[in-house]
Amino acid sequence: MSSSPSPLHLAVALDGAGWHPAAWREPVARPRELLTAAYWTDLVTEAERGLLDFVTIEDALGLQSSSFTEPDGRTDQVRGRLDAVLIAARVAPLTRHIGVVPTVVATHTEPFHISKAIATLDYVSTGRAGLRVQITARQNEAAHFGRRTFPPFRIEDYDTPAVQEVVADAFNEAADYVEVVRRLWDSWEDDAEIRDVATGRFIDRDKLHYIDFEGRHFSVKGPSITPRPPQGQPLVSALAHATIPYRLVAQAADIGYVTPHDAGRARAIVEEIRAEQTAAGRADETLHVFGDLVVFLDHDPAEAAARRERLDARAGYPYTSDAPIFTGTPAQLADLLQELQSSGLSGFRLRPAVAGHDLPAITQGLVPELQRRGAFRRAYEADTLRGLLGLSRPANRYAAATA
């Protein structure tokens, strides 16, 4: 196959022992270490050895469950996790180039708090931070906070008007949330800190700005208490499966993760997001659309298939996912990624089925294969996550207003 028209971007999504629910039972899985800093450091440094653009770190406000809408009673799967933002802050100083993008649930957290946390992560990583914004409408998660309630629903009811209304409201709230976070990142101008010992001036108060955000969900005055992050605006990303979340990506994100099961569907999704992007007045901005895939990678396709079957047998049911599931060799995966790229996707977020097996298969198998095809970098070409993704450092909206 000919090399790609432009190099691919590659990220990995890290979740516990891996995305297959029986991953923790594999010999490489290290289940006793899932809650240690060393485990997460090893995963992220391996991803960096593979020159990947960034890692995302999964998180939630409720225990993992095999049910989409409620807790389950299973005791044979990984339950319990560390906070994604804190994992990111721990591993970032031990890496030099790779972006670190923790998941943040907008529904029950405050944008002021998260803005400060991700700005801090951008300082800790010297410009490699981002966030993946997520919503939740689960009753059990709302019960952890006691501030609001959600009606019960089953996944089969997802397309009903009542559930769609709840979903739309949650995504509208997420859009406001991201807007508040972004305004707070801009609420200090870049040169607001003078730090002049001789004159005793540490700060120029005129360069701190109230954001005065008033919306249905939030009323936030600002300014932040954390100066503007090194990237100006750390990266905002979101996973999207349908029109309402596509709209959030188009209006508010730098990267959208989508789950098309073939090239035709990928093309249609990209077109829909581009149309929404234009409607949002962002047609001239770079917005990446990444395809998500769960991967079982081995040198022999039969080996990968057998491994998947063995894991399914251990779980007691065939593994399914919102994203397409790829089972095969690195070369076969490279073929698929290049085919999907021609549909308008600019990159991919790969979900290793077993982190200890499939992450090294990505970094040591897939990456060299893509490099041979001229489709992936051979060295990091930028010091910031925005730089790796070809995004310029944005001007401060408030500085522009006062200039």
β-bridge pairing 9-14 and 288-297 = unpaired
Distance CA 197, CA 243 (A): 54
Residue 59, annotated as binding a ligand: yes
Distance CA 149, CA 138 (A): 9
Residue 103, annotated as binding a ligand: yes
Distance CA 50, CA 341 (A): 20
Angle, vertex CA 78, rays to CA 142 and CA 367, nearest 5:
105
Helices (H), strands (E): how many in the chain?
13, 13
Phi, psi (rounded to 5 degrees) for 347: -170, -175
Contact call for residues 374 and 3 (beta carbons, < 8 A): yes
Contact call for residues 266 and 344 (beta carbons, < 8 A): yes
Distance CA 296, CA 305 (A): 8
Distance CA 271, CA 258 (A): 12
Contacts of 240 (CB under 8 A, 6+ apart): 246, 248, 249, 256, 257, 258, 273
Distance CA 320, CA 76 (A): 17
Q: How far is CA 244 from CA 172, 209, 249, 268, 347, in A?
A: 9, 32, 9, 15, 22
Please state the residue numbers annotated as binding site for FMN. Answer: 59, 103
Please state the residue numbers annotated as binding site. Answer: 59, 103
